[in-house]
Chains A and B, each alone.
Chain A
């Protein structure tokens, strides 16, 4: 069974940094692209970032230059390093398994990031 478990969320001040992690199990992590998707309170889904099997990275315009996605295939873990945080980064952050471009077939339960002074 595929499992994705996010962690690392919390309360951070504007301008601060956080690192999110997503521990994966139940599939061959190294052979799949992975993504981060966020959802602000009461709002819709917003794609944040993706990383291919070989480490090519992609970012939404809203986070480019501030967020960095990475993966450690030896630890089956996906990361999102978030810096220069802003109030509008407040959201529930999901990691998702990217099924070779045919959509995100597995999701974690999310980790909440709150940016506030």
Chain B
């Protein structure tokens, strides 16, 4: 089945830009969704259809998807952005939802 690969961790200083990648075979041909999960909380959808933000998600978060890599970019990172981030796709060949392994974003 489809495999999504994320770096286990990304570190960034406050005010800088963080990029979290999600790699998969030709992932650019499908839609990628992104979730943020803070400790002790349920996941929260922060990006859908590659680059659309749900209501209430700041413009500092943006997404892109091309070729074999989708990327969630967080600009002007704040301490409150520290969380685990997961990418997700629908694998139509197996009729399964697939999550990436998750990336822990640390704000230095």
Q: Would you call A109 and B42 a contact (CB within 8 A)? A: yes
Q: How far is the CB of B2 from chain A (nearest CB, A)?
A: 11
Q: Mark A70-108, 1 if CB is under 8 A from B, else 0.
A: 000000000000000000000000100001011111011
Q: How far is the CB of A46 from chain B (nearest CB, A)?
A: 7
Residue in contact with B48 in the complex, picked from A37, A61, A103, A107, CB distance below 8 Å: A103
Near B by CB (< 8 A), chain A positions 8-49 give: 35, 37, 44-47
Given known pairs A47-B96, A107-B43, the reply for A102 and B48 (CB within 8 Å) is yes
The CA-CA distance from A36 to B23 in the complex, in Å, is: 24
Q: Would you call A102 and B31 a contact (CB within 8 A)? A: yes
Contacts of B35 in A (CB 8 A): 45, 103-104
Does more than half of chain B's interface fall in helix, strand or loop, or is it mixed?
strand
Q: Which residue of A lies closest to B54 (CB)?
A: A105
Given known pairs A47-B96, A101-B90, the reply for A94 and B33 (CB within 8 Å) is no
Residue in contact with B1 in the complex, picked from A35, A61, A103, A105, CB distance below 8 Å: A61
Count contacts on B: residues with CB < 8 A to the other chain.
25
Q: Would you call B43 and A94 a contact (CB within 8 A)? A: yes
Q: Would you call A60 and B96 a contact (CB within 8 A)? A: yes
The CA-CA distance from A22 to B33 in the complex, in Å, is: 23
The CA-CA distance from A46 to B98 in the complex, in Å, is: 8
Near A by CB (< 8 A), chain B positions 26-71 give: 31, 33, 35, 37, 42-45, 48-49, 52, 54
Residue in contact with A35 in the complex, picked from B42, B97, B102, CB distance below 8 Å: B97
Q: Which residue of A lies closest to B46 (CB)?
A: A103
Contacts of B43 in A (CB 8 A): 37, 45, 94, 104, 107
Q: Would you call B44 and A107 a contact (CB within 8 A)? A: yes
The CA-CA distance from A46 to B100 in the complex, in Å, is: 9
